[in-house]
Structure formats: structure tokens, C-alpha cells
Chain A
Amino acid sequence: MSTTVATGALKKRTPVRPARVLLHVFLAGAALAWLAPLLWALYAAMRPYGETSEKGYVSWPDKLSFDNFTNAFTQSEMTHYFVNTLIIAVPAVLLTLFLSSMVAFYVSRFDFRVNLFLLLVFTAGNLLPQQVIITPLYRLYLLIDLPGITMSGKLYDSALGLVLIHVAFQSGFCAFVLSNYMRSLPHELTEAALVDGASVWRLYWQIVLPLCKPAMAALATLLSIWIYNDFFWALVLISTGENMPITSALNNLSGQYFTDPNLVAAGALLTAIPTLVVYFALQRQFVSGLTLGANKG
């Protein structure tokens, strides 16, 4: 589709260059091929199970509908799992940005000697595979008793536990990006305020932080998607299926509720929708965040 539009538009502007047309044909073809798995999932999700089991999946549809989507959504009470994710992701994103901006503020403004070492520790920790720390972490979470604070009475199997590990793990990356950003702010700015008797906290909260909005927005977008997409932490650190965030719950749901592949496809696509919405709405932030700290694994 895009090819015809592309060549048509090109004709109006400049004489057609065969190389350009070929490039557009190639790119449109490749882009379509890239979307094909998703389109196939969408196609399967829109067909009734009865029809596909009778005619096979590679067949012309008699009926296309969103029934599978509504069924997947209601049968498995997906709302519940979306709320679980929200309970984990919102505090985790806010807390990560808050804590990492404080570290970044400190290393970029005050102590240039520990700066390097601290950043090294934070960034290296963020690059480790999660499985390196999971065994002791799992034991630690089982050991920590929090009666009355979490539903499980422990850090294990609680939203709090997931928030903490997300914050600890992701703050490395954010501290690195934010400290680079803050170092580009003029030194005189904060120096003058200090001479005028402003407290360090005011310096951070009222002067430096507002100037970091673009970087914070990019990081918030990136973090939201990463934390939403997390599969591993919840898989190991949550034992009750009911407490799982949506991405990890999908694995259980596909066995329990989603009995046919069409329903599984619908469930998987429903899970992807929030990330896609965030991505389309904030594409610029997402991409700039990713390339801003390209050292992220």
C-alpha cells in the first residue's frame, strides 16, 4: 500500500528515480513482512474457533469479529491483572525517577571523586542478567517478614517486593542518564543559589529537577514499558496467580482460561495494547530515552 502512495508522491515532486522506487518497494515489503506475525495473530484472534478448526487456519474467513477479545477479557478477568500491573508499575516508575535523580544530582553537582565509582556500580548492576541475583533474592524475600504490611506477610509474593526490585534494578540506568544530563546544566546556576542561602533540597527540587523534565519524560516512558513488559521478576517472586501482573499472568491464563489458540492470540494482543498505545503516543520520548543511554542491555 505504502509503495503506491510513495511512488505517486515522488512523481509529483521530482522525476522518478528508479533506485528510489526500488528502495521504497523493498522497505514497504520488508515493513509488511515485519508486521506479518502480528497481523497473522490479529487474523487468528478475529476468527471463531469453530470455523478455524473446521476449515484450517489458512482459509478465507466466513466471519470476523472481536468476540475472542471480549471473551478473553471477561473470562480471565483481565481487568484484575491490569490493575495488578498498575499497582506495581506506577510506584516503581515514580520511585525510580525520584531516587535516581537524587543520586544523579549528588554525583553531578557535589562529589566528582565518588561520581565515577558510584555510577559504575549503578550501571554495572543494571546490566547484569536478572538470573545472576535471583536465587539469593528469592531466599531474601522469603526471609523478610512484613506482617500486616503485605498481604502475604512477607516480601515474597507481594507487590511491594516487585516494586523494590524494579526500583533497585532500573535506577542504575536512570542515574547514569540523568547524571549525564545534569552535568550539562551550568554550574553557576546552583552555585549562585547556594551563595544566596538556598538549601540543598531546594536546589534539587526547585532548580535542577524542573530543568530535567525532557530527560525525565523520556525515562518515564521507557521505564513504564520495561516494567509493564517484565516477565521474569513476577514469575519467580510471585507465587499466587491472582497477584501476578498481566504480562506474567498471561502464561497461566493461556493454560487455564484460554482454551483455544484464537483466544490465546486475543489475550496476547490485549496484553500488548497498553504498550502499543504508550509507544504510539510517546514514540519520540521512547526512542530518545533508548538512544540517550544506549548502554542499556
Chain B
Amino acid sequence: MTTSPTKSPEAPAPPPGSTPAAAKAATKVPQGHKRLLTPRDRLTLGLMAGLPTFLHVALVWVTALASILLAFTTWDGIGFDSIKWVGLHNFSELFTNNPQFWPAVEHNIVWFVVLILIPTPLGLFLAVQLDKQIRFSRVYQTAFFLPVVMSLAVIGFVWQLIYNPDTGLINSIIGANEPGRYIDWIGDPDLNLWAILIAASWRHTGYMMILYLAGLKSVDPSLREASALDGANEWQTFKNVIFPTLRPTNTVVLVVTIIEALRAFDLVFVFNKGAEGTELLSILVTNNIIGESSRIGYGSAIAVVLLVISLAVIIPYLIATFRKERRA
């Protein structure tokens, strides 16, 4: 894990005076400075912790909870009187009667599988190459990382210039931009998801590269030397020595990739608004708000599916992370 500022070389240097001994002293006093506080200080502290917590909980957790409650109701959004409890009706409707739901689930899964199988190993590969103390490493890094800095909306527009059936780069090159020979990268439901996934992978690779580069920098160089002395070649060293020590980074990468797959929205929306072939859970939720038909309860039911999957990933990960930090 690269979250500890003292361990990560990429992290800003800890301020002077920070020593392990000091950290130890801190843990010895579990009550912190509490006993020295005046009533006024206690009030200040309460506000300092309370205000941000209130804002965060009100806008993020209360709304998440409201999503769960609304998922069991129907509501037209006009007045609270019209909220009607319908039990599991929204869910049964969703699972059995919505032609877009299962494709959306499938596309979210495909999104994750593609990201973890192609750009993630590619990012790792690039990171390993760039970690070899070569010249111009920063120049290469900048190029690969550039897409991560840009908004997904801009990326969507940039890639449309490549995929547009009439004017796009691909069809212009292969001569498929004449009527009759069209390849519709954006409209064809068999093609569009893959076309978008190429753009998504283009961005994801740089992100993964940066995470792995940070992970690689914290690998003890003597491990590499020892392995070289033992006569291991580059691949053996990587497989048997380096990769196992990257375990914390791999966990982060896995979680980040799952979250990215669940969050995927902007790119698809810019491309074709989630038309046939590119439905995603996030798109279905949004269509139930800003689309023609605002079905609050129904949209919330989809959001709950998204929430359950997300929390199933987030909670175990965070508990493991915090437990490790407490021990550290």
C-alpha cells in the first residue's frame, strides 16, 4: 500500500522531526490530547469533526440509504403523499421484465474483464520497462499518462474522430466510409462496446502504469541483486521475486479496476448515450432521472444493485487496509 507517506518514495517527504519513536509515543496515549482540553476546545473540536461529517453523511450516505428505501416504492416525485410501498415489485420487474437490465450487467462485467486482462498487464509491463533507469523515462511516462489527466468527455470526442463511420480515421483508411460498405463502430451493437473499451483501455493503461511504478519503486533493490546473483534471468526475477512483492499494489489495482468498471459512464454517454449494445447500470439509473420517463423507485432499484456490488468490494478492501494500518 502506498498510502503511508513515510514509505512511499513518490509521497511528499515527511516533515522534519518525524521519527518512528514519535509514532510509537503516539500510540501509547490512546486518548490523545483529550485530557488537556478546555470546554471551549471541545466545542471547537466537535464542530471541526462534526460539520464535514454531517455534510458527507447527509449527501452521500443518507442519499444512499434513501436509494435503498425508494427502491421498494413507486413515486412520481410530486409530494411525499404519492410515495407508495410496493415491496419487491421494482426488483422483480427489473430482473424479469427489463430487456436492458441483463445486458447492462453483462456489459459492466465485460468492462471489468477487459480492463483487468488488457490494459492492466500492459500498464504493469510498461511500468517494469520504465523502472529500468532508462533515459527519457519521464518523457515516455508523460505520454502514457496523458489520457488519465483528460476528462472522459474529451476522450469520448477525440475517439469519435477515429470511429465516426463517415469521417473517422479507421473507416477512411480502410475505405469503409462509403454507403454499402459502412462499418458503424458507434451504432452497431456488436461492435460499439468493443470500440468504446479500446478508448477506455487507452486511458486505463496509463493509470495502472503509474500505480505500478509507485509499487516498483518501493521494491528493495537488493532483492533484484540477489536474484541476479543466483543466475535468474529477467523474466524469472520478475515472476519469482518482483511480482510477489507487488501484492499490495495488485490489491489496489484490482479494487480500482472494479470501481472503474462500475463507474463507467461518461465515455459511453458521450459516445452514444448508452444505445443498444452499450447499456450499463450507471446509464440505466441516469436514464430514469433525466430521460423522458422519470421512474424514481425503479431507477433506485437499479442503483441498489450497483450499491450492493460496490459495497461487496469496498468494505472488505477498506477493512483489510485499515487493519493493516493499525498494525503498522
**Distance (Å) between the CB of A63 and the closest chain B CB?**
18
User: Could you say which of A2, A9, A23, A136 has the most chain B C-beta atoms within 10 Å of its C-beta?
Assistant: A136
Complex Cα spacing A195 to B146, Å? 49
The DSSP consensus for interface residues of chain A is helix
Check if A296 sits within 8 Å of B256, measured CB to CB.
Answer: yes
If the complex has contacts A133-B303, A168-B59, are A232 and B265 also in contact, measured as CB distance less than 8 A? yes
B314, chain A: closest CB distance, angstroms: 5
Closest-by-CB residue of A relative to B151 is A229
Q: Among residues 142 to 184 in chain B, which have CB atoms less than 8 Å away from a CB atom of chain A?
A: 142-147, 149-154, 157-162, 164, 167-169, 172-173
Q: A275 with B290: in contact, given A137-B59, A261-B167, A294-B252 (CB under 8 Å)?
A: no
Interface stretch, picked from B40-48, B94-102, B187-195, B221-229, is: B40-48
Known: A128-B307, A180-B5, A199-B41. A135 touches B67 (CB 8 A): yes
Cα separation A17 to B57 with both chains bound (whole Å):
58
Number of residues in B with C-beta < 8 Å to the partner?
A: 128
* In the bound complex, CA of A268 to CA of B56 (Å): 33
Beta-carbon contact of A139 and B41 below 8 Å: no
In A110-132, the 8 Å CB interface with B consists of: 110-113, 116, 118-132
B144 touches A168 (CB 8 A): no
Chain A interface (Cβ within 8 Å of chain B)?
A: 2, 5-6, 9-10, 20, 23-24, 26-28, 30-32, 34-35, 37-38, 40-41, 44, 52, 56-58, 99-100, 102-103, 105-107, 109-113, 116, 118-140, 142, 164-165, 167-169, 171-172, 175-177, 180-181, 183-191, 194-195, 199-201, 204, 211, 214-215, 217-218, 225, 228-232, 235-236, 247-248, 250-251, 254, 261, 264-265, 267-269, 271-272, 275-276, 279-280, 283, 286-288, 290-297
Closest 9 CB pairs of A and B: A214-B12, A297-B259, A229-B151, A136-B66, A186-B22, A31-B143, A99-B52, A291-B214, A268-B157
Interface residues of B (CB under 8 A from A): 1-6, 8, 10-15, 17-19, 22-23, 25-26, 29-34, 36-38, 40-41, 44-45, 48-49, 51-53, 55-64, 66-67, 70, 77, 126, 129-130, 132, 134-136, 139-140, 142-147, 149-154, 157-162, 164, 167-169, 172-173, 202, 205-206, 210-211, 214, 249, 252, 255-256, 259-260, 262-263, 265-266, 269-270, 281-282, 285-286, 288-290, 296, 299-300, 303-304, 306-307, 310-311, 314-315, 317-319, 321-322, 325-326
